[in-house]
Amino acid sequence: MAVCTVYTAHSLNSTCSISTPTKTHLGFNQKHVVLYSTNKKTARRASSAVITCSADTQTVVIGLAADSGCGKSTFMRRLTSVFGGAAEPPRGGNPDSNTLISDTTTVICLDDYHSLDRTGRKENGVTALDPRANDFDLMYEQVKAIKDGVAVEKPIYNHVTGLLDPPELIKPPKILVIEGLHPMYDQRVRDLLDFSIYLDISNEVKFAWKIQRDMAERGHSLESIKASIEARKPDFDAYIDPQKQYADAVIEVLPTQLIPDDNEGKVLRVKLIMKEGVKFFSPVYLFDEGSSISWIPCGRKLTCSYPGIKFSYGPDAYYGHEVSVLEMDGQFDRLDELIYVESHLSNISTKFYGEVTQQMLKHADFPGSNNGTGLFQTIVGLKIRDLFEQIVASRAKTPLEATKA
């Protein structure tokens, strides 16, 4: 009997079914979904299968790109919180897994597609940012399989040991987030994304955050942090930064303009750059859609200490694309008063009045909760929930087929 392995076991979610050319039928064994030829005398490999999954459970794929230490984990915690439930590493799996699973979302870290481990990179003189240190073929195949409703055995890059560990099973979630250095680098992977975000942290701010984390929490010296940022810079400029041109939303973090020659880096100017014309995504606006507006909300309804808060909003161009840009410079003194700002923003995709403020208060201890990084990350989280719901609604009307030759 000819056997053709199709997909890894436990792979298809419960709504999926498989049909194959007439002379084959589906069988299962413990580890694999297989196709058997039904005609034993003329047994031959089944050459193709069509997998049909219920449209409303097809995985929506979100890409989040940023350099290391730029707030991806914090953003992920805000995003998964919007969907409710806690995100945890796979139960009973590798304690050094980089994956986080909640009821609705699975977040995988693209570091798991490093093809060279720490020693391999050292021997070859390449950084982890260099595409040669990453397996984009596997990344593409596995993200595509998950999107098609099929589980995969994904490798694990172990940040503790610097080695590649045995793989872990990733089942298709409702929303798959691929976060890391290169979610938009390879065109095939990029084309699988339903929405993409780039966290663009200016060098000055990146440096301040790195110092804060790596000196305080990881015992690194100031000199070694400087050296590590410098060593990564050429590859960052060549391979990571250019991805922002493809992002549907960019959160850009810059030093404040409210304090002349500020070099403390504590007060931030944050821009939310939103591409126009993206399916299922309508940019947020302040007061009046399409106008150019500058707003200082400080006064009776919003307490502001020095240097105050300034919002701006308006149309712009970004890498040749039409965008809307919402900007916040400064920081909040009292998060409960954020409702005043929220009530002047439109298209924020909340389900009830004050949801942004509620989310921000819930995670007041997360980095950036008193400034535009936290505010815009929360809003993008709500926009992703809205995008997901719209995609599900539209797919329910047109069932999809996923094929594998």
Could you tell me the two tokens for 328? 């916040």
Which residues have C-beta within 8 Å of that of residue 321, sequence separation ≥ 6? 275, 276
Q: Does 94 bind ligand ATP (CB under 6 A)?
A: no
CB under 6 A: which stretch of 71-79, 118-126, 239-247, 297-305 binds ligand ATP? 71-79
| Whether 312 contacts 295, CB under 8 Å | yes
Chain residue at closest Cβ approach to ligand 5RP: 128
Q: Which amino acid does the sequence have at 2?
A: A
Q: Does 111 bind ligand 5RP (CB under 6 A)?
A: yes
How far apart are CB 158 and ligand 5RP at their closest, in Å?
8
Which single residue is written with the structure tokens 């007060």? 267
Could you tell me the two tokens for 78? 């805000």
Among 34, 53, 60, 128, binds ligand 5RP (CB under 6 A): 128
The CA distance from 164 to 117, in Å, is 6
| Whether 63 contacts 197, CB under 8 Å | yes
Q: Does 209 bind ligand ATP (CB under 6 A)?
A: yes
Helices (H) and strands (E) in the chain, counts: 10, 20
**Neighbour tally for 82: CB within 10 Å:** 21
Among 19, 57, 68, 228, binds ligand ATP (CB under 6 A): 68
The CA distance from 279 to 59, in Å, is 16
How far apart are CB 111 and ligand ATP at their closest, in Å?
8
Q: Which is nearer to ligand ATP, 147 or 383 (CB)?
A: 383
**3-state SS assignment for residue 20:** coil
Out of ligand 5RP, ligand ATP, none, what residue 181 binds, judged by CB under 5 to 8 A for its kind, is ligand 5RP
**Phi, psi for 313 (deg, rounded to 5):** -150, 145
- Which segments of 148-280 does DSSP mark as H helices, in order? 187-190, 203-210, 216, 222-235
Q: Does 73 bind ligand 5RP (CB under 6 A)?
A: no
Q: Which is nearer to ligand 5RP, 117 or 386 (CB)?
A: 117
Partner residues linked to 305 by β-bridges: none
Q: Does 78 bind ligand ATP (CB under 6 A)?
A: no
Torsion over CA: 105, 196, 241, 252 (sign): negative
Binding marks (x or -) toward ligand ATP, 328..367, rule CB under 6 A? ---------------------------------------x
Q: Does 373 bind ligand ATP (CB under 6 A)?
A: yes
Out of ligand ATP, ligand 5RP, none, what residue 380 binds, judged by CB under 5 to 8 A for its kind, is none
- Total of residues contacting ligand 5RP (CB under 6 A): 7
> Which residues make up the interface to ligand ATP (CB under 6 A)?
66, 68-74, 209, 212-213, 367-368, 373
> Which residues make up the interface to ligand 5RP (CB under 6 A)?
68, 111, 118, 128, 159, 162, 181
